Amino acid sequence: MMQATLRRQASRIITTTAIIARNTTRKTAVNNARCFSAQPAMDERPLVPGIGRGKTSTGLVGVPVDHDAVPKMIIKYQALLDKLAASDMPPSAQYRINVEKIARYRIAAAQNNLDDPEKVEELCNCGQVEELVIQADNEMKVMDMYLRNRWWELVKPVEIELNPNHEDDHGDIEWGEAPEEKK
């Protein structure tokens, strides 16, 4: 079982590496000039300031522009899923369910829009792609704490009783009249 998990992880790493390599070897149509990032060159699309490869600032203090944020997102969110798969956290733990849903959604959004970070930002609706990478890093730290402390064992299921008919309530509570609104 462990070997199958390792094979899957190796396959994901190889696939992600190929995606990154494909995105970093594009040539430019503009005299082979360098763009604002460390990328070798731009693609055929025109450079538009503030958009895509023309983005020079995130507008957030301490968060630099990263033109490779989308492939990094895929790697980091896949690492979250791999860590959950290798853990002994039960599949029914709500934290695991939530992290898996978010990670899978963001991976799919990034894989389907590798060349369009603005579309990834729009789909994820949680900030810029640079922030999504930071969120993945932070989630990894939280997950480490969660796994180390085995917090899912502390959460007990809560019994919820729904009684839509308030007249069946068994209590001697007098609710009285609602207070009048001040105008």
pLDDT at residue 159 in the model: 82
User: Does a structural domain hold residue 158?
Assistant: no
Q: Identity (one letter) of the amino acid at 16?
A: T
Give the percent of the chain with pLDDT over 90: 45
Instruction: Please state, in angstroms and rounded to a whole number, the distance separating the CA atoms of residues 25 and 85.
Output: 33
Report whether 84 contacts 117 (CB < 8 A): no
User: Does a structural domain hold residue 16?
Assistant: yes
How confident is the model over 74-111, as pLDDT tens digits? 999 999 999 999 999 999 999 999 999 999 999 999 99
User: Does a structural domain hold residue 181?
Assistant: no
Instruction: Please state, in angstroms and rounded to a whole number, the distance separating the CA atoms of residues 142 and 128.
Output: 21
Q: Which of 116-125, 128-137, 159-168 has the lowest mean pLDDT?
A: 159-168
User: 3-state DSSP call for residue 37?
Assistant: coil
How many domains would you assign to the chain? 1
- Domain that includes residue 59, residue range: 2-153
Higher-confidence residue of 43 and 159: namely 159
Report whether 77 contacts 129 (CB < 8 A): no
User: Does a structural domain hold residue 132?
Assistant: yes
